[in-house]
């Protein structure tokens, strides 16, 4: 995982020392895409899913669970027994 310090060293090498992306790649052993990201962004960007993870087991029941939850019934045992029907 790249930290702010890693990004800082990449940006320092590129902007202050004038090293090329290829030279930074050889010196610090980071992928050139990572170096490009560090040059564009001052801090590492948090990981984000491009699309939600699939839920094959719970997926078909999500709407029904949300309806039961919104109705005010907070008992998990009651939710479970209703889902089994």
Query: Which tens digit of pLDDT belongs to each residue from 23-62?
Result: 999 999 999 999 999 999 888 888 889 998 888 887 887 8
- Give the CA dihedral 62, 66, 69, 70, nearest 10 degrees: -170
φ, ψ (nearest 5 deg) of residue 9: -65, -40
pLDDT at 20 over 90: yes
Residue with structure tokens 């078909």? 60
Taking the CA atoms of 16, 22, 28 and 30 in sequence, report the sign of the dihedral they define: positive
Q: Look-up: residue for tokens 């939600």?
A: 52
pTM greater than 0.75 (yes/no): no
Please name the residues in contact with 35: beta carbons below 8 A apart, sequence gap of 6 or more: 10, 14, 21, 24, 25
Split at pLDDT 50, 70, 90, the class of 12 is very high
């Amino acid at each position: 995982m790249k930290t702010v310090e890693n990004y800082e060293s990449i940006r320092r090498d590129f902007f202050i020392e004038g090293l090329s992306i290829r030279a930074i790649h050889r010196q610090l052993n980071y992928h050139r895409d990572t170096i490009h990201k560090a040059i564009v962004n001052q801090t590492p960007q948090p990981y984000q899913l491009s699309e939600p993870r699939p839920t094959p087991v719970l997926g078909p029941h999500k709407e029904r669970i949300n309806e039961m939850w919104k109705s005010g019934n907070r008992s998990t045992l009651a939710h479970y027994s209703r889902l089994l029907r």
